Amino acid sequence: MKRFGQIGKLKPEKKDEYIKLHENVWPEVLKVIEKCNISNYSIYSFELFCFASFEYHGENFEEDMKKMAEDLSVQRWWKYTKPCFEQFKAAGDDEYYIDMKEIFRMD
């Protein structure tokens, strides 16, 4: 199992929309997330910043993320959620969340 922590920055005018979307995440999107071996997925917000954490229980993260990106329901979901974020220019034009390095954990 591998744990992930990610950070993203919302556009000020899209913050409320993003939060509202996550009050009722589409069931088909949740099923894809589970099929791609992700569990214990949480998103937190502070002002314009979002922090996501999740656990990956699969064998090939890149392949599972490719499957997720190819799913039509996820693609439709991302059409609503991705425009809510500012892009991280340093990370590339298509980066909305940046992986963070874990520096401490207590189980």
Cα 13 to Cα 99: distance, rounded to the nearest angstrom: 24
Q: Pick the closest to residue 32 from 82, 77, 79 (CA basis).
A: 77
Residues 22, 57, 66, 76: which is the catalytic one?
Answer: 22
> Would residue 57 show up in a list of annotated catalytic residues for this protein?
no
Q: What is the DSSP letter of 58?
A: S
Cβ 58 vs Cβ 64: under 8 Å: yes
In the structure encoding, which two tokens stand for residue 55, read together? Answer: 């656990």
Instruction: Find where tokens 């002002």 sit.
Output: 47
The total of other beta-carbon atoms located within 10 Å of residue 23's CB is 6
The residues annotated as belonging to the active site are 22
